[in-house]
Amino acid sequence: MAKRSKKTQKSQTKLRELVIVAFAEDLDQAKDYETLLKNNYIPAIINEQNDESTNTKCFAVMVPEDFLDEAHVVIESQDAYDDFYDTALENKDDVDLDNDFFESDL
């Protein structure tokens, strides 16, 4: 029976302990998630995966299983924050600053 090297065993053990916290459509988004998690003291890696059903690549952001719940909260909070500002910027065009609303009757 052939022995596995310790390095191979360690990398396989680490990979098994990691779980997917999010999928990203492109590498930039995956790197943003990775940076966000690392800034919140959550170890993260990016794993490129092939989606055989659509024949495209996607990027899995992975964290140790012990950090999974915290990582979900961090990512969901950031997504909600981004959505808020995206909506605010979209609605900015709806405001007419030339109307009489801002004029004072003083």
Task: State residue 100's pLDDT score.
Answer: 56
Q: What is the mean pLDDT of the chain?
A: 78
The residue ranges of DSSP E strands in the chain, in sequence order, are 18-24, 45-51, 56-64
Band (90; pLDDT cuts 50, 70, 90): confident
In a domain, 5, yes or no: no
**CA 49 distance to own-chain centroid:** 16
Task: Enter the pTM of the model.
Answer: 0.62
Q: Residue 66: phi, psi to the nearest 5?
A: -65, -20
In a domain, 101, yes or no: no
In a domain, 61, yes or no: yes
Residue 49 domain boundaries: 17-89
Rounded CA gap, 45 and 19, in Å? Answer: 10
Q: How many domains does the chain contain in total? A: 1
Q: CATH no. for residue 74?
A: 3.30.70.1530
Q: Is pLDDT above 80 for 5? A: no
In a domain, 2, yes or no: no
In a domain, 102, yes or no: no
In a domain, 84, yes or no: yes
Rounded CA gap, 24 and 20, in Å? Answer: 11
In a domain, 26, yes or no: yes
pLDDT higher for 24 or 54? 24
Q: Is pLDDT above 70 for 73? A: yes
